[in-house]
Amino acid sequence: MAHHEEKNCPHCNTRFECKMGSITLCQCTTIELDKEESGYINLKYDDCLCAQCMKALKAEYRNLKHQQSLKKILGIYYRKNHDNS
């Protein structure tokens, strides 16, 4: 028998159904994460998240990586330009 569990998302507290017993049917499989994105989320949370929060944290990670890339490229000018936006 498949194991399904009602959970509250630790990020937004939304109630969702975790289908760990039928993982291919679980809402989390709709969000594709690479290894780095998955690691970023796993550092912040120990439990399952709703799909919306997974998507938001994926975007947060990508934005963070983009900001880090800009900082490397712009060097000391990054802070000055970033503060004015």
Local confidence band at 80 (pLDDT 50, 70, 90 cut-offs): low
pLDDT digit string, tens, across residues 2-55: 567 899 999 999 999 888 778 788 888 899 999 999 999 999 999 999 999 999
pLDDT of residue 79: 63
1 pLDDT tier (thresholds 50, 70, 90): very low
Instruction: Give the pair of three-digit tokens for residue 63.
Output: 């934005």
Q: What per-residue confidence (pLDDT) applies to 65? A: 94
Domain ranges of the chain: 5-83
Contacts of 68 (CB under 8 A, 6+ apart): none
What distance, in Å, lies between the first and last C-alpha atoms of the chain? 54
